[in-house]
Amino acid sequence: KLFRIASIPGDGIGTEVTEAAIQVLQKLAEVDGTFHFEFEHFDWSSKNFKERGYYIPPDGIDQLKKFNAILFGAVGSPGISLNPYPIVDSNKGQTQAKATDTKRLPDVPDHISLWGLMLPLRNSLTQYVNVRPTRILRGTSSPLRAEVCGPKDLDWVIIRENSEGEYSGHGGTTHAASGNAVATEVSIFTQVGIERIMRFAFDTAMLRPRKKLTMVTKSNAQRHGMVLWDQIFHEVKKEYPDVETDKMLVDAMTVRMTLKPQTLDTIVATNLHADILSDLAAALSGSIGIAPSSNLDPTRKHPSMFEPIHGSAPDIAGQGIANPVGAFWSAAEMVRWLGLEEVADKLMECIENVTEAGPRTRDLGGSANTKEVTEAVCNEIEKQ
């Protein structure tokens, strides 16, 4: 069986971890023998944007439609840091600041790169679900104390609405002559959009042992869209009498995630809320370098897209030291989506053998580079 995969490595460490993931996927196919992958590469990067003036060429989305899935790296040529450690822009002259500066690509403002590449992909391929599982992989550990969070106490899947809400892009800015510029940012929520993400979340919860779904809003302060979320949740819930549900406000949710991780299982939230909560989830599970994400078109009309949740990390790009585990886990989710459940399980097993025994990258307390981790996972695949 042949799977055609489009790869979009993007910027910074995106290119490094995507290459590593492809190596691992090829090894999987080679050892198994019953399926194989054919990759086609799309160089839709910020570097090329600077030269050509666009990320996606006019027929780009159409080109993607013939693939079975998309492997995405990361995009961002930051004017603002996309990775969790800051680009220091003080004029106090720290050496770290200078080192970072020279390694930075020339500035493409972030909203240009995101609205030029990542968001149009998610939107035009009707990838209206973003699935973000988090758990503590074997051999890694949570920054939380053991009494607060044991190794099995954090096992969540966050279902992120991926097509509307705070990411509608709607709004604008007027630079009034009064010198009082005014900007609006319009979040748009539709019944169709909310119902479909709710059903996906309930379906996900039904497949998990605890059958438990927590819905997150901020309906006490955001009194239009968030209230509609609450109402539709209340209706859709009736279709799923076997699922245990509760509701949280997004601010209080961060407290519960941090202090009572055991009490959560499946989580559904808006585009922005889930963006924030899934980064927190990754941090609480030990490193943002391991967390995967699946942009799914559940109707399977268009290819789905798999990407680590970390960014392009300009501060470590080009050094070959990025953690490829987030990209590997994303690749495993891709394999699962393509119907190869057992192969996906096997890949996760191999990844966790390596997170457990090493080599590990710096963010996981080791000192290995991307290549060493990739080879170790390939060796595990051969051993199986």
Ligand X SMILES: CC(C)[C@H](C(=O)O)[C@@H](O)C(=O)O
Question: Between residues 201 and 253, which has the closer beta carbon with respect to a second copy?
Answer: 253
Give least dist CB 127 to a second copy, A: 15
> In the structure encoding, which two tokens stand for residue 166, read together?
């705070």
Does 146 engage in binding with ligand X (CB under 6 A)?
Answer: no
- Rounded (10°) CA dihedral 7, 10, 16, 22: -10
Q: Is 288 a residue that touches a second copy (CB under 8 A)? A: yes
Distance in angstroms (rounded) separating the CA atoms of residues 277 and 251 = 10
Options 9-17, 58-66, 154-162, 239-247: segment touching a second copy (CB under 8 A): 239-247
Q: Which is nearer to ligand X, 114 or 281 (CB)?
A: 114
Q: Which residues of 330-349 are buried (b: 16+ CB within 10 A; e: fewer)?
A: bbbbbbbbbebeebbebbbe
Nearer to a second copy, 136 or 282 (CB): 282
Number of residues that bind a second copy (CB under 8 A): 92
What separation, in Å, do the N-terminal and C-terminal C-alpha atoms of the chain show? 21
Contacts to a second copy from residues 291-330, by CB under 8 A: 311
Consecutive H or E run containing 63: helix 60-64
CA 328 to chain centre: 12
To ligand X, the closest distance from the beta carbon of 214 in angstroms equals 18
What is the spatial distance between Cα 187 and Cα 176, in angstroms, rounded to a whole number? 23
Give CA–CA dist 277/382, Å, rounded: 36
- Classify residue 33 by burial, with Cβ atoms within 10 Å: 0-12, 13-18, 19+: exposed
Residue-level length of the chain: 384
In whole angstroms, what separates CA 363 from the centre of its chain?
A: 18
Query: Does 52 interact with a second copy (rule: CB under 8 A)?
Result: no
Stretch of residues binding a second copy (CB under 8 A), selected from 137-145, 298-306, 340-348, 353-361: 137-145
Within 99-128, the residues that bind a second copy by CB under 8 A are 109-111, 113-115, 119
Q: Which residues of 55-89 are buried (b: 16+ CB within 10 A; e: fewer)?
A: bbeeebeeebeebbbbbbbbbbbbbebbbbeebbe
Residue 251 has a CB neighbour count (10 Å cut-off) of 12
Interface residue with a second copy, options 72, 189, 202, 329 (CB under 8 A): 189
According to CB under 6 A, which residues from 215 to 274 bind ligand X?
220-221, 251
The residues, any chain, with a CB within 8 Å of residue 52's CB and separated by 6 or more, are none
Which residues 87-106 are close enough to bind ligand X by CB under 6 A? none
Q: Interface mask (CB under 6 A) for ligand X, residues 107-136, using x and -?
A: -------x---x------------------
Kindly determine how many residues on this chain lie close enough to bind ligand X according to the rule CB under 6 A.
Answer: 8
CB of 157 to ligand X, least distance (A): 15
Bridge partners, residue 3, by sequence? 37
By CB under 8 A, residue 280 contacts a second copy: yes
Binding mask 290-329 for ligand X (x = CB under 6 A): -------------------x-x------------------
Between 181 and 207, CB nearer to a second copy = 181
Among 30, 38, 43, 89, binds a second copy (CB under 8 A): 89
Full strand arrangement of the beta sheet holding 69-74: 36-41, 2-10, 69-74, 304-308, 292-296, 129-135, 155-161, 266-269, 212-217, 244-249
Q: Does 144 bind a second copy (CB under 8 A)?
A: yes
Minimum distance between the CB of residue 362 and a second copy, rounded to whole angstroms?
12
Nearer to a second copy, 182 or 357 (CB): 182
Q: Which of residues 150-179 bind a second copy (CB under 8 A)?
A: 166-167, 169, 171-173, 179
CB of 164 to a second copy, least distance (A): 10
Give the residues lining the site for ligand X (CB under 6 A): 114, 118, 220-221, 251, 275, 309, 311
